[in-house]
Structure formats: structure tokens, C-alpha cells
Amino acid sequence: MTDDLMHRLDTCWSMLEEEGFYTRANTVMLAKNRIEELEAENEKLRKALDVYQRERDRFRHANPEITGEYFLTGGHGERDDNLLPEFVTVCAAYGAGWEQVYQKTERTVSYEGS
């Protein structure tokens, strides 16, 4: 919801209260409060949807025989401090007769704090 709408609801509430329309003013205030509650709930649902999508992706790649997605088949080479290998092999789909080799870069993507 935009701040402009919330400002207009506040203005409407003030005008109604000044003119003695307390019931209508309270209705406007209840509507404003409900909008704020729904915005907070919507934000929680967006975060939950993000978590659900990551779990769904994890499941798809952890069960390639069901989903047909690509999956890691192994790691080779020296391991770093996080025990990650220098090379990983990826199979394009369950039952494929070949693998692709990927080499580690120094690029790091972090989801911490989100």
C-alpha cells in the first residue's frame, strides 16, 4: 500500500473526527489498521514463498530420478577450508551417459542476512 493512501486515510479520519462523525472516523481508522495488518502478513508470506522456492529447488536436484533435473555426481581435486573441491561433475539428467566438469572460481554468493 502506498504512503499516499495511508496519508489520505489519516486526513479523512481527522476531518470526520473534527466534524463529530466519530463512528465514521472509527471505521476509517479500523480500515487503516487492517490495511497495515494485511501488508505485514503479505511481507511474511513473500518471505515464506522465497524459502519454499529454495526448498523446492533443493528437492528437484536431490531427486533427479523423479524430477529429471541436473545433479552433482562428484567432486575432484584439492579441497579448500570449507571442504569444497576444486572441480565438480554435473550430470545433465538422470540416465544421461555423460557428465560436465565445472571448476571452482573465487566468486562467493551469500544468502546470509536475507
**DSSP line for 26-60:** HHHHHHHHHHHHHHHHHHHHHHHHHHHHHHHHHHH
Report whether pLDDT(1) > 60.
Answer: no
pLDDT digits (tens, 9 = 90+) for 30-56: 788 888 888 999 999 999 999 999 999
Nearby residues of 24 by Cβ (< 8 Å), 6 or more positions away = 16
Rounded mean pLDDT of the chain? 84
| Lowest mean per-residue pLDDT among 15-29, 35-49, 75-89, 100-114 | 15-29
pTM: 0.52
